[in-house]
Structure 1
Amino acid sequence: AVISLGGTVVSASIKIAGDDFDEALVRYMRKKHNLLIGERTAEDIKIKIGSAYKRPEPDYMDVRGRNLVTGLPKTVKVSSEETEEALKEPTLQIVEAIHGVLERTPPELAADIADRGIVLTGGGSLLRGLEELISERTGINTMTAEDPMTAVAIGTGKYVEFLGGYKDEI
C-alpha cells in the first residue's frame, strides 16, 4: 500500500504469506528430491537457508523426510540456491503486486517513494534476499521495517489514536 497523510492512496492485496513460502518448499522437495517433508521442516528450511535472491555464498542444510519411492527416512542436502528456485513463484507474485501499486501511484508520491524507498513489513519480509529482489525488479531502494512482525499493528494503533483526536472536533 502507498500511504500518505494518514490515508491509503493506492493498495493491492495478495494472499501470499509465510505459509505460502512453506508450501512452495514442500512442493519443491517432493518434486525435486522425491522427499516428503512437513510444514515444520519447510519453515525450518525457510528460516535457516531460505532466500529470494542469489546469495554470494550459498548456505546448505541437511533436510530429513520420507523418501516417496521407498517410504523410508531419507536425508538430503539442500542449498539456499534451491530455496530461491522453490520460492520463485510466491516472491514474484509479491514483486508483481508492488509493481502494480507503483504503476497506479500518483506521480508526486511516486517521486517520494523513489527518494525514500519501499519499507517491507510482516513476517514474510524476513525472508533473506526479498529486499534485494524487490530493489532489482523495481529500481527502488527497499528495506525491512525495524520490527516487521509488529509494525502493522503498531501503525494501526497510532492511526486509531490519530483519529481519536478528531473525535472531539466532530
Structure 2
Amino acid sequence: MWKNAEIGIDLGTANTLVYSRDKGMILNEPSVVAINLDTNEVLAVGLEAKNMVGKTPANIVTVRPLKDGVIADFNMTSHMLKAIMKKASKTLNLSVRKPSVVVCAPSGSTSVERRAILDAVRGCGAKQAHIIEEPLAAAIGADLTVEEPIANVVVDIGGGTTEVAIISFGGVVTCHSIRIGGDKFDESIIQHVRKTYNIIIGERTAERIKMEIGYAPIEHERLEMEVRGRDLVHGLPKTVMLNSIEVQEALKEGMFQLLESIRATLEDCPPELSGDIVDQGVTLTGGGALLNGMQEWLSTEISVPVHIAPNPLEAVAIGTGRSLKFIDKLQKV
C-alpha cells in the first residue's frame, strides 16, 4: 500500500527549501533560474544557476523569480518548482505517488499572489496543495507552542521580507510585514561602496561582506576585509579595504526600519497577551537572525528577551513540513 508523501516547501526570495515528514530536510537551493534567451530553455536551477550570476554571456540570463517573498515571474517560478519537485521526487522515490504539499506565503500577500503559488505547485504534480502563513510556519519550526493561548512573537528576517507576528491559539493575532530583508542589506552595501569608493561590486560580494563584517548597531571590535570590484572612473578592476564600522553604518537605516516594525507589532498586541511576551520573549528566525550582534541589539532596544531559533535558516521549511499533521485544524483557524 502506497503511503501518500507529504512535503513542505518554503518558497523564499533567496532560497527554496523542501522538508519531508519522513526524511527531514531534503533540499535547500537558491531561488535562481538560468535561462537561454535564444531558445527560452531553462539551463540550470538552484545552486548551479546561482554560481552563474554575473558570469554569463549575453544570451544567458539568471533570474530570481521571487521578489519580496511573492511570485514576480510566474513562468520562471513554475520552471523552478518543477525542477525542485523533480529533485525532491528522486530523493524520496516518488515515481508513482503524487505528494501532498504545504507551501508558505508571506502574511501580507494578496489572494491573487496566493493563488499564483497554489497554481504553480499544482501544475508541478502535487495531489493537494495548502498554504500556511510564513510567521506561523516559522513559529512551528522554532518549536514554539502555537496551539496554546500564549503569545509567541516571531520575527522572520528573510531575503525579501521581514515578518513580525504575534501568534496565539494556532493563528496570527497581529502581524506586520515589511519589504526589508537580506537583499535590502546587500543593496545598501553595494550603494555604500559605490558612493564612497566609486567601485561597483556584485550581489555575491555584497552578501559575503554582510556575512563576514556586517554588524547590527552595537559596539564591536573593528574588522577589515579586502573587496574587489570595478572602478567607475577607469573601468578597471580595483581592490579596497572595507571595515565593519562603515558597513554597520550602511546597514543602519534598514535596521531601524526593522526595529520600527517590531515595535509597531508589539504596540498592536492585546493587553492580555502582553504579559506573556515579557516571559516568552521574541524568537528570531530566517537568515537575517544570524547577522552579527542582531540578538544583543534587539534585546536592548525592545527590553524583552530575544532568542534565536534552533535552526533559523530552516525554521520556516521545518514548520511547513510539520504543519501537515494539523493543517486542517490550522485552515479552520
CA 1:109 to 1:116, structure 2 compared with 1: closer, same or farther past 3 Å? same
Q: Partner amino acid for 1:147?
A: N
CA 1:57 to 1:4, structure 2 compared with 1: closer, same or farther past 3 Å? same
1:1-170 alignment, distance < 5 Å: 1-164=165-328
Q: Distance between the aligned counterparts of 1:34 and 1:117, measured in 2?
A: 43
> Aligned pairs, how many?
167
Residue 28 (structure 2) aligns with: none
Q: Partner amino acid for 1:131?
A: Q
Specify the SS of the correspondent of 1:70.
coil
Q: Distance between the aligned counterparts of 1:116 and 1:9, measured in 2?
A: 16
Percent identity (aligned): 50
Return 124-133 or 22-31, whichever deviates more: 124-133
Higher relative contact order (CA 8 A, sep 6+): 1
- Map Cα deviations across residues 16-61 of structure 1 (whole Å, 9 max, x no partner): 1211111111011111221110101001101111111234312111
Q: Show structure 1 runs of 5+ residues with no match.
A: none
Specify the SS of the correspondent of 1:57.
coil
Are the counterparts in 1 of residues 217 and 252 from structure 2 also a CA contact under 8 Å?
no
Cα offset, 1:116, TM superposition: 1.8
Q: Partner amino acid for 1:48?
A: E
Structure label with greater radius of gyration: 2
CA 1:141 to 1:72, structure 2 compared with 1: closer, same or farther past 3 Å? same
- Map Cα deviations across residues 99-157 of structure 1 (whole Å, 9 max, x no partner): 00000011232221122211111111111122222222211221221111111222233
Q: CA RMSD in A?
A: 1.8
Q: Distance between the aligned counterparts of 2:294 and 2:190, measured in 1?
A: 20
Specify the SS of the correspondent of 1:64.
strand
Are the counterparts in 2 of residues 6 and 159 from structure 1 also a CA contact under 8 Å?
no
Q: Partner amino acid for 2:319?
A: G
CA 1:4 to 1:76, structure 2 compared with 1: closer, same or farther past 3 Å? same
Cα offset, 1:165, TM superposition: 6.3
- Tell me the TM-score normalized by structure 2: 0.47
- Tell me the TM-score normalized by structure 1: 0.89
Q: Distance between the aligned counterparts of 2:187 and 2:330, measured in 1?
A: 44
Cα offset, 1:67, TM superposition: 1.8
